[in-house]
Structure 1
């Protein structure tokens, strides 16, 4: 059986192991925080190349940079929105012009047909052809 002295040795070793384990975990945590601050420092353009910067300075500069990038992002989002709106308006103008072009072509062909049929069937000189802008022709009755 174990004596009281052996129990104390096990407890002391156990306490020492617990303390060592705790110290190792704490060291690992501090190293992780240190590495994270180093990574953050390297991510902030105004801190590039600086080997020494306090944690407070790193946090302040990182916060400033985040705000700057948010403003820049919002500006770009607004530009995208404006360009989409402009693109939509230009698309509507294109569709309107294409419809007008088709309509003008139709009216031009129709006018040619009317002129040809009027020329073939017209025998009295009471009608004159008047050309209007956009290649549209109309007949005007004239009194002699």
Structure 2
């Protein structure tokens, strides 16, 4: 669970195909890995297996270093998000998972992708940006 409040900006170090990545069933096979540079804000509470929200997408940390983390990207994640278009140097929003009884700022979002939408309208509204998104009835329910 995430608050939707970005903790910091990070940047993509790499998005590469790993020919022998550990897969969900314990076997090794091809899969994509995303390496993101991050500051101590996000990394200070990170641990292997924790969730880190990367530009709105919940990912699982599979490797940690003092200045970065790695996450595996499932084929469905690549199909349904913009993460497949990231290149080295791309900026990304980073957010730590909310802790029970901790920071939430009155917000609560999952960070898991359930579907896709299409931007139908985007306009300035005072000091805000109004964005209207259309999607399927299945997602709307």
What is the TM-score of this pair, normalised by structure 1? 0.17
Larger radius of gyration between Structure 1 and Structure 2: 1
| Structure having the larger proportion of residues in strand | 2
More RCO (CA 8 Å, sep 6+) = 2
